[in-house]
Amino acid sequence: MKTKNNNKAGVRYLLGLANSKKLILAVAIGFSVLSGLCTFVPFLMIFRTILLLFGEGGAGSAMQNGIIAIVAIVLRFVFQAISAAMTHVNAYNILYHVRRELCRHLGKVNLGFFTGNSTGEIKKIMMEDVERLEMFFAHQIPDIVVAIVVPVAVLVYLFTINVWMSLILLLPIVLTTLTQVIMLVTSKNPMDEFYWLAGKQSAVILQYINGMPVMKTYNLTADSYREYADTISSYNNAWWRAAKILSPPSAIITVIIESGLFFVLPLGGYLYLTGSLALSSYIFFAIMSIVFLSSYINLANFAQIFSQISSGIVRIKEIMDIPAMGNGNKTLLPTESHSLTYENVSFAYDQQEVLHNFSLDLPIDSLTAFVGPSGAGKSTAAQLVPRFWDVSKGAIRIDGIDIRELEADNLMDNMSFVFQEAFMLNDTLYENIAMGKHGCTRQEVEVAAKSAQIHDFIMSLPKGYDTVIGSEGVKLSGGERQRVCIARAILKDAPILIFDEATSFTDIENERKIQLALESLLESKTTVMIAHRLHTIVGADQICVFQSGNLMECGTHHDLVASGGAYASMWQTYCEAMREVAS
Ligand code: ADP
């Protein structure tokens, strides 16, 4: 995922996310503005009372002014509470909407996206980046509107009292705005880098934690995990760089906003002494210089918070911009057997072509084994069938229909895949098997588990099928996990099966059980099996040998051995290795 920013997303995209919630947002902002205006009413009443005291006119009595001020203070909090409640409910609805859209979109992208991107990074976008939107919709939008509308309204009123004094109050705003623009421009690249590194850091930490068993086994220290150490140190440096750039302008902004009196007092004094400003107005402007700019401070923080949100928005947009997997409208019956065809297939990850123009027929209910050295392209060729990625050239067809013309759900209904990295939910063993078939019965789950040679193991656990597995439950061995996945696939009973043979859990007991489980699974299926141990596929209908992305040869074990090609030498080496292990 390219998270380095090309910061195109902005306020418009953010507001687009608000979608149908804009009306509520507008009403909430209205209450915020009313609350902001109420802030100034008590000061207005003070002014009116000063005018009374100085005998310069002014409406009402001091008592009336006091009551109006109190009512305004109460209303200010009431309006604020209504606005805050509305913006928060609205913001969390928007968060829910954005997360749902993200999930919906992720459901439509090629499955390969998830193998190419760390779950840590996706999780960060879904959780942290989306969570930051709350800040924008619940706080920033109302604050910004208030920070603009209220000072403008008050300024208009102040202009009616004295033009020069009002103009001098504008000066701090002009200065802070200029400082902010400079801050935004100078901090853009360092801040983008900072947030990008923050995302990378959380992904790397997750990898580091996952890799701890290996590190301990080989007695490695954190120092030896270079990427981890480098990322933490780059993040630290980026933090320093950003802090150095942001601190001076932030300090300048705070000082200017807090020093309204500094601007008002000298000019007011001069105008008073020259007789162009009444004492009452002078006192009023002195008070207003302190409070007038306070509502503006929200704008001062805007730049910083917005840059934080906007890099998250870029990442959200990047996910939403990933092209959805094309979805056809043809369907195939999952209850019938199907043939599979690779037709002049080439495939490239980005620019690097890893499969070069090969064709292959897999007849109905046949077992085809993919063999070859590591990196030859076996997994990639197998993963093209469930559309982890789409072919770069050529086509993969089921019963003659290009898989891209099939409804995505229908393709999945027709297919099971069991890969080495078995996917498990942190849930009960029952649910982990039952997810293979919607609405299955307990009995069906048990029958599948028995066929997959995992039932006895499950029953040996104190809670049987209700045993929770995963981070908070029972840990399963690699072989047990794969047998649970086989049970799931048996339950699903899809006519096409993609199976990646396990290499990492090869003890005799497990291997025998997995072989037995497979016999049940492979019955009446068109199967692609990525085979690592050749003796397991001697009986396959056809064995396809891959080397450097080319399909070198294809045939039965007997024919290939007899022809003396690549497979024959692989078989010889394999047998010699097995003999060595046995002796
Ligand atoms: P095999 O299953 O035979 O070991 P693979 O299909 O896994 O081979 O890999 C074929 C080639 O594609 C290798 O060069 C590998 O480095 C590359 N490759 C595999 N997965 C990816 C990926 N997600 N992104 C880029 N290259 C990949």
Residue among 352, 353, 354, 379 whose CB has most ligand 1 atoms within 8 A, to mutate = 354
Q: Does ligand 1 lie within 6 Å of residue 372's CB atom?
A: yes
Q: Does ligand 1 lie within 6 Å of residue 378's CB atom?
A: yes
Q: What is the pLDDT of residues 132-154, one digit of tens each?
A: 888 888 887 888 888 788 888 88
**Distance, CA of 14 to CA of 138 (rounded, Å):** 13
Q: Does ligand 1 lie within 6 Å of residue 377's CB atom?
A: yes
pLDDT of 345 > 90? The answer is: yes
DSSP 174-193: HHHHHHHHHHHHHHHHHHHH
DSSP 62-120: HHHHHHHHHHHHHHHHHHHHHHHHHHHHHHHHHHHHHHHHHHHHHTTS-THHHHHS-HH
Question: By mean pLDDT, which of 148-162, 195-209, 428-442, 560-574 is the weakest?
Answer: 195-209
Q: Does ligand 1 lie within 6 Å of residue 547's CB atom?
A: no
Q: How many residues does the chain have?
A: 583
Q: Three-state DSSP class for 544?
A: strand
Question: By mean pLDDT, which of 2-16, 150-164, 392-406 is the weakest?
Answer: 2-16
Q: What is the pLDDT of residues 457-507, one digit of tens each?
A: 888 888 888 888 876 667 777 778 888 888 888 888 889 989 887 655 556
pLDDT of 4 > 50? The answer is: no
Nearest to 151 by CA among 292, 20, 320: 292
Q: Does ligand 1 lie within 6 Å of residue 114's CB atom?
A: no
Nearest to 31 by CA among 158, 150, 153, 152: 150
User: Helices 62-106 and 141-161 sit at what angle, rounded to 10 degrees?
Assistant: 150
Q: Does ligand 1 lie within 6 Å of residue 266's CB atom?
A: no
Token representation of residue 331:
């369907």
Which class for 566: exposed (0-12), middle (13-18), buried (19 or more C-beta within 10 A)? middle
Phi/psi for 212 (5° steps) reads: -60, -40
Q: By the 8 A CB rule, do 67 and 109 touch?
A: no
Gap between the terminal Cα atoms of the chain: 49
Return the ligand 1 atom nearest residue 549 CA: 10
Specify the residue with its C-alpha closest to ligand 1, atom 1.
Answer: 375
**Distance, CA of 147 to CA of 144 (rounded, Å):** 5
CA 125 to centroid of ligand 1, rounded, Å: 26
Q: What is the pLDDT of residues 23-77, one digit of tens each?
A: 888 899 899 989 988 988 998 888 888 888 887 766 678 889 899 999 999 999 9
**Distance, CA of 554 to CA of 543 (rounded, Å):** 5
Q: By the 8 A CB rule, do 392 and 344 touch?
A: no
Reading across the β-sheet that carries 496-500, which strands appear in turn? 415-418, 496-500, 526-530, 367-371, 542-547, 550-555
What Rg value do the Cα atoms of the chain yield, rounded?
A: 35
Q: What is the pLDDT of residues 421-468, one digit of tens each?
A: 667 777 888 888 888 888 888 888 888 888 888 888 888 888 888 888
Q: Does ligand 1 lie within 6 Å of residue 115's CB atom?
A: yes
Token representation of residue 363:
């007849």
Kindly state the average pLDDT of the residues 110-129. 76
Return the ligand 1 atom nearest residue 372 CA: 3
Q: What angle do CA 444, 450, 453 make, to 5 degrees?
A: 145
Residue among 109, 117, 379, 380 whose CB has most ligand 1 atoms within 8 A, to mutate = 380
Q: What is the pLDDT of residues 320-341, one digit of tens each?
A: 888 888 778 888 888 788 899 9
pLDDT of 1: 41
DSSP category for residue 7: -
CA 219 to centroid of ligand 1, rounded, Å: 29
Q: Which domains does the chain have, with CATH numbers?
A: 11-320 (1.20.1560.10), 340-427+487-582 (3.40.50.300)
Kindly state the average pLDDT of the residues 315-319. 82
pLDDT of 211: 72
Q: Does ligand 1 lie within 6 Å of residue 348's CB atom?
A: no
pLDDT of 267 > 80? The answer is: yes
Average pLDDT, the chain: 83
**Distance, CA of 567 to CA of 560 (rounded, Å):** 6
Position 51: which residue type? L
Which class for 57: exposed (0-12), middle (13-18), buried (19 or more C-beta within 10 A)? exposed
Q: Does ligand 1 lie within 6 Å of residue 383's CB atom?
A: no
CA 573 to centroid of ligand 1, rounded, Å: 24
